[in-house]
Structure 1
Amino acid sequence: MKNPISIDAIASVSPLGSAAEEIWNNYLQNSHHFSRITAAEGSWWAGKLPEQLDRQLAELQQEDSRYRHLDRSVLMAILTGRKLKEQTGYTNSNSGLNIGSSRGATELFEKYHKEFTETGKASTYSSPTTTLGNISSWTAQDLQLEGPEFSHSITCSTGMHSILNAIAWLESGMRDHFIAGGSEAPLTGFTLAQMEAMKIYAQNNDEYPCKSLDMEKEKNSMILSEAAGLVSLSKNTSVSSQAVIHGIGYANEELKHGASLSREGFCLQKSMKMAIKDTSEEIDGIVMHAPGTIGGDVAEVNAVKHVFGENHPAITSNKWKTGHSFATSGILNIQMAVLMLQHQEFITVPFSRFQKKPTQLKNILVNSVGFGGNAVSLLISAN
C-alpha cells in the first residue's frame, strides 16, 4: 500500500445486533446467536436478525412505497447505510459506494421464479429487483450519494474484495472517500438446501452447533446467517479514525473443483504474506475466516502455521457465534478486529484449543476466503 487508509466508521446489522456496544457485549458472552428455521425443504440452524432489526426493515418499507418491492438484502444494506451515516466520520455525499453480495436478491429471485413456473408469467418487478447492482443503487439513493455506486460478487470474500476495490479508488485519487461492504440474506429454502447438498451444513444439536476452529470435529458444521456491513474509508487518517488499514493482500490458487481450497491454504498463505510484507511490527492476532467446515478450518490453520510457524499469533473466529454471512462475513471480521483493538481484549472461541491471548493489541490480521480459491487479508492497526 502507498499510504495507510482510515476506517472512519463501521456499521452492521447481524444476529449480534447493530449498536457497537451491543455487538461487543455479545462478543463477551460464550453463547451463540442461532435459531432453528423451517421451510418446505427442511429445517436448519440459522443466524437471523434480532426482532428489533426486523421491525426496522418493515418500517423502511412502510415509509417509502419504492422500498416495498425490494429484496431483503437491499433493505438490510439501506438500513446499515443509515446506521453508518449516524456515526461520526461519515458526512460526505461525494462518496463512492460498493456493496457486494455472493447471492444477491435470493429471496425475491426464488419467489419470482416460482411464480413464473406456476403461471408462465414474470412479474413486472422481477428484473429490476433481482439485479445485483440494485443493492448499491438503492443504498446510494437513500444516502443521496453522488457515486459511483456498483456491486460485485466474488463468493464469500466479496465484502473484503469491496474494501480492496475502495482502496484502489482512493489511491488513484478518483475519490477521497468510499463506502464498501456486503449484504447477504441467504436464509431461503433453496439456498440452505444447496449448502446441505454439499454436506457442509451443521446437523448437530449440542451447545455449539457451529464448530468453527474446533480442530477435533468429525463433521462439517457451517451455519448460514443474514447480515449487512459497511465500512467508511478515507485517505486521511486522524484522531477520529476508528482504526487504520496498513496492509492488503489478495491471491487465488489452482482449482480442483468449484468449491476447492488446498489443504495447505496456498491462497491464504500468499494473501497473508502480501498484507504483512511492509510491516516490521509484530502481528498480535488473526481473525480467521474459519467457516466451521473440516477442510476450510484445517486449510486456514495450516496456512497460518506456514506463514508464522508453530508460535503463531493468537487466532479467533466469530462464525461459531454469528454464522457465515457469505459476502458480509469479512466485514463482520473487520468489525470484530476494530472492537478488539478499541477494547484491548482478544476474544477467543470457547471450545477451541486455540486459547492464546496477546499481551497487547496493536496489529490484527483479518482473513477472508471463498469458493474459487480466492483469499483476501487486511492488516488492521490501532489508530
Structure 2
Amino acid sequence: MKTPISITAISSISPLGVDPKTIWSNYQNQEHCISHKTFNNTSALTAALTAELTKAGQQQIELLRQENSKYKSLDNSVLYAMYAAREAVKFAGWSSDDNFGINIGSSRGATELFETYYSEFSKNNQSHPLSSPTTTLGNISSWVAHDLNSKGPEISHSITCSTALHAMLNGIAWINSGMSDKFLVGGSEASLTSFTVAQMQALKIYAQQEKHEDHYPCQALNLDKKQNTMILGEAAAMACLEQGKLDNALAVIKGFGYATELLEHNASLSTDAVCFQKSMEMALDGFDKNNIDIIVTHTPGTISGDLAEFKAIEKVFCNKIPSLTTNKWKVGHSLGASGLLSIEMAILMLQHQTFIPVPFIKNEQPNRIQNILVNAVGFGGNAVSILLSK
C-alpha cells in the first residue's frame, strides 16, 4: 500500500459480548459459545448447534427496537449493524458533520424477516407492504446511514463469507481515491433460522449435534478431524477507517490482497486454495514474510476448507509458518460478518500483546505480536487477505 490506512475504532455484537472488556475476557477462557437452538417454525428441523448473541446483546437489540417505532419492523441483521455502527463511530469521535461513507455487507441479509413474509404470502397469497423495502441487502447500510444521520455514500453488497473484508477493501479504495476521507465498513449476519441451517446441512458441511469431537463442537483448524463441523453464529462488526498513520490508530492496514478462483465445487476451494495463495501474496507484496507473527485463518470447520487454506499458507510461507489461530471454534461462522470479527480479534491481540490460541491444536506462541494477516473467503472462491500492523 502506498498510503497506510488507520483503523481508529472497531466494535461488534456477537456471542462474545457487546463491549471490548467483556469480549477480551471471553477470549481469555477456553470455553465456546455454542449451544443447541430449537426452531419452532417448522416440523422438518427441531434443533441445531448454533452460536447466539449473549443475553446482554439481545437486551441491547431489544432496547434499540423499542427506541423508534420504525425500528420494530426491521430485521435483526439491520439492528445488529446499527448497534455496532453506533459504538464504532462514538469511539472514533466521528459526528454527522464528518463526510464519512458507509459500506456494510451481509451474506444473507434479512433472512428471518424474509422467511416470515414469505410464509405469510404462502398462506394468504398476499404480501406485506414492507416486505420488499425491509428485506433488500441495501436495507442495512441505508438504515445505518439514517440512524447516524451521515451524509456520505452508503453501499451494500453480498460476497458470501468474505463480505466484510470486501467492505474493508471498498473503504480503502474510496479513501485512497480521494473520494472520501473516512469510511465505516463492516458486516452483519442474523441467519439463525431453520431454513438457513437446513441449507448448510444440505451441503453436508454442518456439524452433527451429537457426533462432534471432544468438548468443542466446531473443530476449526483441526486438520485431523474426520467430519465437517461448521456451525452458524450471529454477529455484526464495524471498523472506522481513516487515511494515514494516525496517533489514535488501533492498528494500521499495511497491505491488502484479493483473488477469485474457478469453482471445483459449489462450497469448496481448490485443494491448495489458489485464491488464498494469490490474496496473501498480494497483501504481502514488498513485506518480509518472516515478520508475520500470526495469521487469523478463515477455516470454517470443514475438512476440505480448513485443509485447503493450510496448504495455501504452507505454499506461501514455506518452512516458516506463522502462529495460526481462529475464533470460529468459539463463536461459530457468522458468514458475512466473520471477516470483521477476525479483524477485531487481531486488533485485540495487537493491543494486549497476547496470542489467542485454539485450545485443541498445538501451536507455537509468537515471540512478539507486531504484524497479523487476516484471511476470509466465501462460496465462489473470493478470497481477501488484510495485513495489520501495530
Q: Same fold (TM over 0.5)?
A: yes
Question: What is the Cα deviation at residue 85 of structure 1?
Answer: 2.5
Q: 2:83 maps to what in 1? A: 79
The 1-side partners of 2:15 and 2:367 are apart by: 30
Q: 1:268 maps to what in 2? A: 276
1:93 and 1:144 in contact (8 A); partners too: no
Question: What is the Cα deviation at residue 352 of structure 1?
Answer: 1.3
The 2-side partners of 1:232 and 1:95 are apart by: 9
Question: What is the Cα deviation at residue 21 of structure 1?
Answer: 1.4
| Alignment match of 1:332 (pick from 330, 338, 341) | 341
Superposed counterparts of 1:363-378, under 5 Å: 363-378=371-386
2:109 and 2:135 in contact (8 A); partners too: yes
The 1-side partners of 2:23 and 2:165 are apart by: 20
Q: 1:250 maps to what in 2? A: 258
Q: Give the counterpart letter for 1:292 in structure 2.
A: G
The 1-side partners of 2:12 and 2:146 are apart by: 19
The 2-side partners of 1:29 and 1:90 are apart by: 33
Structure 1 segments (4+ residues) deviating >6 Å: none
Superposed counterparts of 1:169-248, under 5 Å: 169-203=174-208, 204-205=211-212, 206-248=214-256
2:203 and 2:267 in contact (8 A); partners too: no
Unaligned 5+ segments in structure 1 are: none
Q: 1:126 maps to what in 2? A: 131
Superposed counterparts of 1:1-383, under 5 Å: 1-39=1-39, 40=42, 41-91=45-95, 93-203=98-208, 204-205=211-212, 206-280=214-288, 282-353=291-362, 355-382=363-390
Q: Give the counterpart letter for 1:113 in structure 2.
A: Y
The 2-side partners of 1:83 and 1:307 are apart by: 37
2:104 and 2:187 in contact (8 A); partners too: yes
Secondary structure in structure 1 of the residue aligned to 2:232: coil
Unaligned 5+ segments in structure 2 are: none
1:90 and 1:232 in contact (8 A); partners too: no
Q: Give the counterpart letter for 2:282 in structure 1.
A: M
Secondary structure in structure 1 of the residue aligned to 2:377: strand
Deviations 1:322-362 (A, max 9, x none): 10000110000000000000111111101013x11110111
Q: Give the counterpart letter for 1:16 in structure 2.
A: L
Deviations 1:9-38 (A, max 9, x none): 000000000211111111110010111101
CA RMSD of aligned residues (A): 1.1
The 2-side partners of 1:105 and 1:231 are apart by: 21
Secondary structure in structure 1 of the residue aligned to 2:91: coil
TM-score (norm 2): 0.96
Secondary structure in structure 2 of the residue aligned to 1:118: helix
The 1-side partners of 2:365 and 2:89 are apart by: 34
The 2-side partners of 1:88 and 1:277 are apart by: 29
How many residues align structurally? 381
Deviations 1:271-320 (A, max 9, x none): 00000112236111100001000011000100000000132111111100
Deviations 1:146-190 (A, max 9, x none): 021120010100000000001000000000000000000010000
1:220 and 1:293 in contact (8 A); partners too: yes
